[in-house]
Structure formats: C-alpha cells, structure tokens
Amino acid sequence: MTTLSIFDFSQPDEAKKVTDDSSEIRALLAEQSVRFEQWPTKDLPDDASQDEILEAYREEVESLKAECGFQTADVVSLNPDHPHKEAFRQKFLDEHTHSEDEVRFFVRGQGLFYLHFGDQVFSVLCEKNDLISVPDGTRHWFDMGPEPRFTCIRLFTNPEGWVADFTGDDIASRLPRYEAMVGGA
C-alpha cells in the first residue's frame, strides 16, 4: 500500500504516517510541489519488454510529454537476482538533485523516494500504478531495498537521461532505510 511518512528533525524517531488515503498523500505532496497520481492498472506479464510497457501506457506517457515537455521515456527494471543490484542501490542512496523533474511511474513492484524539504523528509513508498514527479532542484534519494523488485517508466527532458548532482549531505544515512520502513526485503 502506498505510504507517506513525514520525518521532522525535531523528532527524528517519530514519523507521521499516511497510508489509507491516497487523496491525503496527494495533497500533502502537492503542498511541496510534488506531483503524485495513480494510473489505471494495465494487465502486463512480469517479463513484458520495454516496448510492450511503453505501448501499454502510450496515452499516459504522451499526455505527460505534451504537458511537461519531456523528450524521452524509457523503462528501468530490477529484480533480486540482478548481479549488480547492490551497486545500483548504492548509486541512488545518497542525497542528490537534478536539473529536471524526476518522474517515475511504477509498472510493478515498489521503492522508497525520500524528499528533503527544510527540516522535514517525506518518505514515499511508491507501488504499482503510482506516478511521482519530484521537481527539479529538490533534494532527494531513492531506496529500492536489498532485494529490489520493480519496473518503472522514466520520463526525461534531458536526452542524456538520469544526471545527478550529489549534495554531500549525509542525511540519507541518518534516516531509516527501506528494510526498516517496509519490513524486510
């Protein structure tokens, strides 16, 4: 279930959690200029190709491209048996920003986006059918967990794809990781 946990640095061990109401999650994220939507389910096999996935969500992707000026879309997928899963996890675990919005639509599986706003961090457990758009310049990181299982459509305005500017802040190491937030792998 999609979950939003809000950590306040004045009480870092206590997070406010919102799990039952996607409209409340959407509203709280919108206050921070984060777009959150849930798209209708498409029936796809677990081993669907990038082309099959992009075709299944063609209308939604084209609509976002037209609305937001995205130039490209691709699909990223990771499974627990991937030989480089730990390296991929580490790549995204440090706080960073981008010069464009980071947009992910979860076709299957789940992952945690951590969004740093002033004295708060919003941790969003995104699952199948969740779309999140993190505004450019927003300090954030992503945790796919030690046994990742997800497939996401990514949209970019920069044809080079994912380009990060790491902040050097160790905040990501001071908050609970995927295992603590989700409960295991």
Binding site, annotated residues for Ni(2+) = 96, 98, 102, 140
- State phi, psi for 183 to the nearest 5 degrees: 95, 70
Binding site members: 96, 98, 102, 140
**Closest by Cα among 66, 62, 23, 79 to 153:** 62
Binding site members for Fe(2+): 96, 98, 102, 140
List helix spans (H) across 31-179. Answer: 50-56, 58-68, 85-92, 178
| Rg of the chain over all Cα atoms, to the nearest angstrom | 16
Q: With b meaning 16 or more CB within 10 Å and e meaning fewer, what string describes 101-130?
A: bbbbbbbbbbbbbbbbeeeebbbbbbbbbb
**Contact by Cβ (8 Å): 122, 181:** no
